[in-house]
Amino acid sequence: MNKIALVTGATGFVGSYLVKRLVQEGWQTHIICRTDSSIPAFVEFDDVIKHFYDGATDSIIQIVADAKPDVVFHLASLFLSQHETKDVDALIQSNILFGTQLLDAMRVNNVRNLINTGTSWQHYNNEDYNPVCLYAATKQAFEALLEYYVQACEFKAITLKLFDTYGPNDPRPKLFYLLNKAAKTGQPLDMSKGEQLIDLVHIDDVVEAFIIASQRLLDNKVTRNESYAVSSNNPIPLRELVELYAKITEQTINVNWGARDYRYREVMQTWIKGNEIECWTPRISLVDGMQKIFVNI
């Protein structure tokens, strides 16, 4: 019998790669999306069963009932490195309310296996809990809510805390996107002094962690809410990362180092206290991963 997955956040960068992998491995894959969700062009979603969420709890209850998943992969979230007051409602809606609706829909339908997605930003200054920003605080708040379902409803859950991710076809306006744009246009790029450490994990390694976590749940090895770090274990200063990008792509990038102040609560040191999930280790080095993406750019 095919394994059945229900995925939230399937149209995002990490989620779309996860869906692609699940389909390749023979999972019957269901995704929750909104009517205005944009499907990434590089992912074939023809073999995916789409369910549309209208914002109501009853909507998710029916989706879970229809999908009958063996494992729920919860990746949906709103990421904001810094928020304004106008963003509060959206952060709560996306990162707390929707997730709690999902948990209760699982409870009602007797679905107990969940893989949750956290962030290393829950650990500012390498502390056990110190949120970098409100986004990270909402991630922690959801974990606290999840703990109720683990304790009271016998859920089995694994939270994978992600660091920075990268890979081919990444549409997000993150560092590599900005560097490529600066190289092509010749426009100077204002940056901080570049001393902060960046922990980049290739998307294939990230997806592998989700697959291993799902097997751990299916093998009944989980008895609580386990938490693991998905880290490269090899953070690199931003300035060195930019130099490496320029070397690999053989492009000239005009960077104005120190032209911008560090962000409020800039993450200067990455979290190093997290444990890796059993049987997982990053396999794609930063150099190899960047060469596969950017050589002959």
CATH code of the domain covering residue 189: 3.90.25.10
**Do 287 and 218 fall within a single domain?**
no
Q: Examine the fold and report which residue of 190, 215, 230 is the final residue of a domain before the chain moves on.
A: 230
**Average pLDDT value for residue range 94-101:** 98
Specify whether 61 is located in the same domain as 120.
yes
The number of domains in the chain is 2
214 and 283 inside one domain: no
- CATH code (residue 54): 3.40.50.720
Asked whether residue 134 falls in the same domain as residue 157, the answer is: yes
Residues 58 and 108 in one domain: yes
- Of the three residues 230, 250, 283, the one that is the final residue of a domain is 230
Residue 4's closest CA among 66, 85, 92? 66
**Same structural domain, 31 and 139:** yes
User: Would you state the pLDDT for residue 34?
Assistant: 81
Asked if 153 and 209 sit in the same domain, the reply is: yes
Examine the domain organization and report whether 135 and 237 are in the same domain.
Answer: no
Task: Indicate if 23 and 158 belong to the same structural domain.
Answer: yes
Q: What does the pLDDT average to over 89-114?
A: 98
Confidence of residue 9 (pLDDT cuts 50, 70, 90): very high
The larger pLDDT score, comparing residue 43 to residue 248, is at 248
pLDDT tens for 173-204 read 999 999 999 999 999 999 999 999 999 999 99
Domain boundary among 230, 251, 282: 230
Closest C-alpha among 259, 249, 257, 244 to residue 180? 249
The answer on 93 and 18 residing in a single domain is yes
131 Cβ neighbours under 8 A, 6+ residues apart = 121, 122, 124, 137, 139, 140
Q: pTM to 2 decimals?
A: 0.95
- Do 224 and 246 fall into the same domain? no
In terms of domains, do 116 and 213 share one?
yes
Look up the domain containing 13 and give its range. Answer: 4-165+200-230
